[in-house]
Amino acid sequence: MDEKQIVGEKAAEFVKDGMIVGLGTGSTVFYTIQKLGQLVKEGLTIKGIPTSFQTEKLAKELGIPLTSFSEIESIDIAIDGADEVNPELELIKGGGGALLREKIIAKAAKTFIVVADTSKRVEKLGAFRLPVEVIPFGFEMTERHIIAIGLVPEIRLNGATPFITDNGNYIFDCHFPKHVQPEILEQKLNMIPGVVENGLFVGITDLVITVDRDKNVVMLRRLYHEAD
């Protein structure tokens, strides 16, 4: 069993009967969703809120009942992956393009769990370029504002044309200086007109499920910043 499957399936253990569950997007949380589909077939009663069209399609295929924000007031637990996670449990997300819906769901959840194999754990964020979702109107001007705060943005492409998110927006993938504090950068980006959201997840993560070199499960909690 590979690392992604180990941590993905472990996260499913935190889902209890009757919960509203935020269903993340990506190759690791794929195993969580598969496991939840199996548990639903065995009698687990949950409702999911997907973070992407891709996840919605998978959940439906697996028989996981879905709901929407018009029908609920909060989410009990959200489980998602990350492109990078540092020792403070700060994240870069959005490699798959679903960062806006992922952040909406993570913020709405009483508990936000991240599943991450060892390749996603870093001492400092930034080797993975930071996704920034922007509206198409005036994106050239938005790009100039992003450059002005010290980032190097590059429009994400799908072939020869801009990649389009599930929300109809564009994404800039940005290099940023190593000395920048994630929480300050997150605030600066979201003050730029045209920026919808960015892939920095700061102060949101409650638990990271990962593994050590021997593939033993390790749980990193926000309150203690250390392994159980």
Same domain, 59 and 112: yes
Same domain, 27 and 92: yes
226 within a domain of the structure (yes/no): no
Number of domains the chain contains: 2
CA distances 68 to 60, 124, 154, 195, 217, Å, are 14, 35, 33, 25, 32
Same domain, 50 and 158: no
Question: Are 114 and 85 in contact, with CB atoms under 8 Å apart?
Answer: yes
125 within a domain of the structure (yes/no): no
Same domain, 75 and 115: yes
Higher pLDDT, 156 or 225: 156
d(CA 102, CA 216) in angstroms, rounded, equals: 27
The full DSSP string for 89-124 is --EE--TTS-HHHHHHHHHHEEEEEEE--GGGB-SS
CATH number of domain containing 179: 3.30.70.260
CATH number of domain containing 100: 3.40.50.1360
Same domain, 160 and 214: no
The boundaries of the domain holding residue 181 are 130-194
Question: Are 125 and 84 in contact, with CB atoms under 8 Å apart?
Answer: yes
Q: What are residue 93's phi and psi, to 5 degrees?
A: -130, 165
- Catalytic residue list contains 226: no
pLDDT bracket for residue 225 (50, 70, 90): very low
Same domain, 45 and 136: no
User: Choosing from 3, 9, 84, 102, which is the catalytic residue?
Assistant: 102
Mean pLDDT of 97-117: 98
Q: Does residue 13 have a pLDDT over 60?
A: yes
Q: For residue 18, which amino acid is it?
A: G
d(CA 70, CA 144) in angstroms, rounded, equals: 37
124 within a domain of the structure (yes/no): no
d(CA 220, CA 206) in angstroms, rounded, equals: 8
50 within a domain of the structure (yes/no): yes
155 burial class (0-12, 13-18, 19+ CB within 10 angstroms)? middle
Locate 95 and state its tokens: 């490699």
Q: What percent of the chain has pLDDT over 90?
A: 95
Same domain, 134 and 179: yes
Q: Does residue 226 have a pLDDT over 50?
A: no
pLDDT at 200: 98
218 burial class (0-12, 13-18, 19+ CB within 10 angstroms)? middle
pLDDT at 124: 95
Query: What are 159-192's pLDDT values in tens digits?
Result: 999 999 999 999 999 999 988 999 999 999 999 9
d(CA 64, CA 74) in angstroms, rounded, equals: 18
Q: Share the mean pLDDT of the chain.
A: 96
pLDDT at 222: 79
pLDDT at 1: 85
Same domain, 166 and 214: no
Higher pLDDT, 213 or 64: 64
Same domain, 21 and 99: yes
Mean pLDDT of 106-132: 97
pLDDT bracket for residue 228 (50, 70, 90): very low
Query: What are 29-88's pLDDT values in tens digits?
Result: 999 999 999 999 999 999 999 999 999 999 999 999 999 999 999 999 999 999 999 999
Q: Does residue 129 have a pLDDT over 90?
A: yes
